[in-house]
Every structure is written in C-alpha cells, then in structure tokens.
Amino acid sequence: MAEPFRSFTSKVVPLHAENVDTDQVVPARYLKITDKAGLAEVLFRDWRFNEDGTLKDPPFVLDQPGMAGRNFLLVGDNFGTGSSREHAPWALQAWGIRAVISTGFADIFRGNALKNGVVPVVVDPATHARLFTMIDANPDAELTFDLAEQGILLPDGTTIDFDIDPFAKLMLIRGTDEMGYLLDKLPAIEAWESAHPGRVDTRPEAAATG
Amino acid sequence: MSGDRSFPPRTLVEKIWDAHVVAEDPGAPTILAVDLHLVHEVTSPQAFTGLRQRGLTVRHPERTVATADHSVPTTPRGLPFLDPMAAAQVQQLDTNCREFGIPLHGIGDPSQGIVHVIGPQLGLTQPGMTIVCGDSHTSTHGAFGALAFGIGTSEVEMVLATQTLLQRRPMTYEVRVDGTLAPGVGAKDIILALIARIGVAGGTGHVFEYRGEAIRALTMEQRMTICNMSIEGGARAGLIAPDETTFAYLKGRPHAPQGAAWDEAVAYWRTLPTDEGATYDKSIVIDASALEPMVTYGTNPGMGIPISGRVPDPAAAGDPAHGRALEKALAYMDLTPGQAILGQAVDVVFIGSCTNGRISDLRLAAAALKGQHVADTVRMMIVPGSDEVKREAEAEGLDEIFRAAGAEWREAGCSMCIAMNGDQLKPGQYAVSTSNRNFEGRQGKGGRTFLASPLTAAASAIAGVVADPRLLPGIEAASGIGGR
C-alpha cells in the first residue's frame, strides 16, 4: 500500500524534450518482468546508455552529477504519450521522481502516475518557460511541493498554483488507493449488475458452434 | 428511434457512458461498469499478484478473456522460446488464468492472436459495450461503436476485482471524413493524415467519433485500422457508430448473440448512433478525396507527410521547442530537411500488428506482391494478426504468394511492432512498417521506422525504397479488394 503523500523540497531534473513517449521512459524489451523489480535501472535506458552498456557522453541528464535523489522532473509538453505501460510511472517512482512538471500529459500516463505517487503538474506555457529559464540559470534551485495547498514554492518566494483532480488528491494524501474505494462500493455494483445482465460470455462453452 | 426521450440529443459516446454509470459520489469519478476485459501477458502479472496479496478473486471471469501476443515468438510454434523471460511471462499468464478461471487463448489455441484482432474475430467485441485492456490500442474496438480504451495495470487489477473502473467523463471530438478515397489510398492514410494535422496530443482528454461519407464506406477491418491509432492522436478512444456493415461482420460469430437475442441486440444497436442535434466539444473535417498515401519521417506518429512530400525543415518550425524536437527526430532518423521521402532506401518491411495485420491487409499485400519479388536488399516479414488470420490467408494461397516473392511468412503475434519477442530492427536500419508507432527504438534499439499502409509497405518492399503504391500495376483493382 502507498504511504501518505507528504510535502517535499527538492532540486529539479530538467529534461528538454517534448512528446516523450513511454517507450523512452521504459523500453519495451524491459516489459518482460512479472514484478516491479529493477525498473529504476532501466528508466530512460536508451537515452542513458550506449550499445555496450557504457554511459552516453555527455551523460543523459539523470546521470549528470548531483541529479541522483532529485524528486522533480521538469519536461516538455505531452509527457507520457503512447503505450499504457504502468512500468513508466513505476520506474519514475523507483528512481525517486514524485512530481513531473509539464504543460501537458497523455491521458493514460496521467492516471497511472497518480496511482503511484507521481503527481503530474500542468503549468501554463509562460510558467513552464520561466521554470526552465530558472533551472537552466540555477540548476541547484530547490522547490517545495505542497500537495494539500496545491502549490510549488520557488526560491524567490513566489508560488505556482496547480490543479489536481480532488479525488486523486484525497487518495494521495490518505495514502490509500482506488481499489479500497471500489471494494467499499460492491453493494452498489451488485445492485447495478442485477439490473444489467452481462452482455457477453467469454467462456468457450458459451460460443456458438458451427 | 432517435434515442431516449428523457435525454437531450446525445452523442454515441455519451449514450454508452450513460448506460454504464454504476454510481457517482460527489467529487469522485464515475464508477463505470466494464462489459469486456481483455488481458495479455505483459500488463497483467502485477495485477494478479495484487489480487493474491489482497485475497481477492476475479469478479467476472466470464467477462474476461486472455491471450498471449506481445512476448510470443513468431517462429514455428513447435520451437521453444529463446528468451527465458518471455517464456516465464507467458507461463505466468497461463498460471494466472487457470488459478482465477479466466478463458485463455494461449499458444497453440486456434483463437490465439493479437488481443485486438481476436476480440472482434470471436464476436466478443460488440456495439454499445465498454471494453478495456491493459493496452493503449484497445481503441481498436471502437470500430464497432464500443467505448474501448487502454488502462494501466492498477486499473487491470481493479477491473479484475470489481468489473468496474473509476473514470471522469471524456470530452467528445468529431472527426468527419468526407469524400471518396482515391485508388491506392486507404484507411491507414486517413488516420496518419489526421494525426499529422492535429499532432500526437491533439485528442488529449477527448474521445474521437469518426463519421462522414468516407468512414461509412469503410469495411470493419478498415475501421479498426483507424480506431486503432486514435491513441496516437492523443485520444484514449475512437468510435464509429454501428451500421449494417457492423451487423454483417458480427452475425454468426462465435460469441455474437444468436436467434431472438440477435434481433434484440440489433434493435438496441440501432439506437446508438449520435442523435440529430447532439454537439461535440471539438470538431475537424478531413477531405478524403484530397488525401495521398501517407508516410511518417520522424519519431512520433504525428510526424507524417503525403508520400510525394518533403521532410520538413526544423528552422521553419514556428516554436523553438518544436524545432528542437524535429531536429532531434531527423538526427535520429538520419534524414535531411527538404529531402524527398520517396526513394529513401529501406532495409526491412514489416506487415502486421493490431493496426494492419488482418486478412484484408494481407490480401492487399498479396495483390501487390503477386508475380513480383522483394528487392534483394530488403527483408520482408509478414506476420498475421491471429492464428485464424493465418489459416484464412493460407486457405487463400496468400502465403504462397508471399514466399514466392521472397517474404517471410510467420506465426501470429505483435512481433516487430513492439519488438519484445526477438523480431527487431538492427541499429540504424530503416523499416517501412504497417504498425502504429515510430518512436525511437520501438522496433528495435536504434531502428528507424516509416509508418505506412500495407500497400505502401508492399510497394516499398518491391522497390527497395519508399515507393508510391499508386504506381503499382493494377492498383485500381487492388484498391477494390475488400474484406469485411
């Protein structure tokens, strides 16, 4: 079960790329696992490593000095596009990312991230540009993330407000998940089902023959 | 029958949504009932582990169906898996389905195949249903007028346990395609043209509804090609209202309603199309008559151009971030701004996937390849979308045409679309592929993908370079090759 999501202060990993697809976040050949082990090591694998397993030169941003342990990822528009693989937020979370700041996120990624303690934060293009300028000028700037207040405090004392689905926020703050909520609703689900019979039967014996 | 009088005019999506609302707490997302849950080996193991940890069972195994497609080799079925992790993953699916009582069409089952090919084939995919799968190309099933979308593994676990999902109501996006397609231009070109116009984030937060004269003229398999790539336009789902074409496809399929139940179902399905006067949050119109065959040049499916076009210049991109992205894409693809895409050398041609791995796709490829030979410099792989598609193609002698042309005819699976199973490009190789994604490394680390239609792929295989299918001999006749 997840831990309650608390405020944090961290430096930022800046990634100047837009439309980053989940095939880049976790390449498909690493999806053959049946658990969640080892995903931090394969995060952005093909942007970090050469064919022979050595780091790229210059290194990808995650491997630059001082980046390990940072909790913010600042990235270009439409992050998480493509495949529905939840391995993407699992890997981000395992590496230490707790909030991703962008001008937009792909729908499936957004939902998956929120279920794994990785908060997608949408900012307007002007704020986004201002953040990149600030981090490029001062790569060690520290930001404070406050989920309850829905704000990110910048070193200059200003705050960036952000929106979050109120239900997802509640789940994060309580450290609970949607499964618990749905299981509590089983009586309503049972009532609905008794009024709405199944539309299809997948069992082979239910198939028409001939 | 213009719909229920207690509602204002509604769109197709809204009607399906309203019919599946189980409950809604203030401030919370809707609890949406799921009619059909499709499961495959890659995105499900952690969900089954979650069920065990919580001591839960699968609420409706008889509304759930599984197959192995992503990790499976496409070499002859008698051969062992070369990859022990892939073998273990497929074995785990088998174990999970047995333990939780879920029907499985695994390796060796005559209905095995890509999950989005077998659902429709078995008649499990039906109009008006909600369908989910831990796979973004679940949008394929929207071709039947079903609300079908990809979900993550946490959601897979929730659907297994409760047969419901928590969802916010999506916005609607009308995609009207008017006019008539020219010979050599097909469904794949429509969807690539749409994504090139609106971009890969164009449909974010929305569900597409494809309508208009050009859509109505398509077969079910062509409609599936279009709906399949809705996700590449940023929309989680894309639907087409059911009509006579839909009913004709479904009638008599193994899991379709039979007898009186069929008549009842069709009567209901006829109430689903969008009501006169219903409105969409967004709309776009595309003129099919003006379309050329499309091909992508970059590293996302929005980077597409008409086949006679030229690779764009990053310097001409209005926005600096777009310019940088384009520059990066062209560097990865090793293409020059302003160069023609026609004539670009290719190493591999792949025909298959949930986008274009159905029998009608193979018939088109066969029409182009009959009596021709794949260029000496090209490896051509043809991978049927399912075991049934494979049998059908072989019954029609298509496999003989492919082999005679020098192409490889393989077993069913996702194969080189996602390159998890050993079928992959080598670094630096160029492929014309009928699949859905041209992301960096998608078809093998360092591989470079040009997305295109089956006809463009076949024409390019013969020429050894990206080639215009409109110049194929007998293209008028080939374009008339139908299917369902």
How confident is the model over A179-188, as pLDDT tens digits? 999 999 999 9
The residue of chain B with its CA nearest to that of A24 is B440
CB of B101 within 8 Å of a chain A CB? The answer is: no
Predicted confidence (pLDDT) per residue in A6-49, tens digit: 899 999 999 999 999 999 999 999 999 999 999 999 999 999 99
Beta bridge partners of B64: B37
Q: Quick check: B365 and B458 in contact, CB under 8 A? A: yes
Q: B83: exposed, middle or buried (C-beta count within 10 Å: 0-12, 13-18, 19+)?
A: middle
B300 vs A21: CB contact, 8 Å cut-off? yes
Residue type, A106: A
Query: Does the predicted interface ipTM exceed a cut of 0.95?
Result: yes
User: B88 touching A, CB under 8 A?
Assistant: yes
pTM for the complete prediction? Answer: 0.97
Q: State how far residue B452 is from chain A, nearest Cα, in angstroms.
A: 18
Query: Can you tell me the distance from the alpha carbon of B417 to that of B394, in angstroms, rounded to the nearest whole number?
Result: 22
Percent of chain A with pLDDT strictly greater than 70: 98
Nearest to B418 among A28, A51, A181 (CB): A28
Backbone angles phi, psi at A72, to 5 degrees: -105, 135
pLDDT (tens digit, 9 = 90+) per residue, A55-90? Answer: 999 999 999 999 999 999 999 999 999 999 999 999
pLDDT (tens digit per residue) in B133-164: 999 999 999 999 999 999 999 999 999 999 99
The DSSP code for A28 is G
Q: What is the pLDDT of residue B78?
A: 87
Is A81 close to B200, i.e. CB distance below 8 A?
yes
Nearest by CB to residue A186, choosing from B124, B162, B255, is: B162
Judging contacts by C-beta atoms under 8 Å, the chain B residues touching residue A201 are 62-63, 255
B181-229: pLDDT as tens digits: 999 999 999 999 999 999 999 999 999 999 999 999 999 999 999 999 9
pLDDT of res. B43? 98
Determine, for residues B63 and A198 on separate chains, whether the beta-carbon distance falls below 8 Å: yes
Residue of A nearest to B36 (CA): A200
Q: What is the pLDDT of residue B5?
A: 62
Confirm or reject contact between A16 and chain B (CB < 8 A): yes
Mean pLDDT value of segment B117-123: 98
Q: Report percent pLDDT > 90 for chain B.
A: 94
Put simply, the answer to whether A19 touches B85 (Cβ < 8 Å) is: no
Q: How many CB pairs under 8 A join A and B?
A: 219
State the pLDDT confidence band at B4, using cuts at 50, 70 and 90. Answer: low
Cβ contact, residue pair A23, B442, below 8 Å: yes
* Partner A contacted by B282 (CB < 8 A): no
pLDDT of residue B1: 43
Q: How confident is the model at residue B480 (pLDDT cuts 50, 70, 90)?
A: confident
| Interface probe with A: pick from B153, B163, B208, most Cβ of A within 10 Å | B153
pLDDT higher than 60, residue A210 = no
Residue pair A88/A109 in contact (Cβ under 8 Å)? The answer is yes
Cis peptide leading into A58, omega within 30 of 0?
yes
* Chain B residue with the nearest C-alpha to that of A82: B232
CB nearest to A202's CB, from B33, B63, B418 = B63
Mean pLDDT of B243-268: 98
Exposure class string for B147-180: b at 16+ Cβ within 10 A, else e: bbbbbbbbbbbbbbbbbbbbbeebebbbbbbebe
At B242, the pLDDT band (50, 70, 90 cuts) reads very high
Distance from CA of A9 to the nearest CA of B (A): 28
pLDDT in tens, B314-323: 999 888 888 9
Question: Is the CB of B36 inside 8 Å of chain A's CB atoms?
Answer: yes
- pLDDT value of residue A75: 98
CB-based contact, A193 to chain B, within 8 Å: yes
A205 pLDDT more than 70:
yes
Q: Is B322 in CB contact (< 8 Å) with chain A?
A: yes
Cβ–Cβ contact B22 with A under 8 A: yes
Q: Structural domains in chain A?
A: 8-196 (3.20.19.10)
Q: Considering only A161-165, A202-206, B4-8, B279-283, which range has the smallest mean pLDDT?
A: B4-8
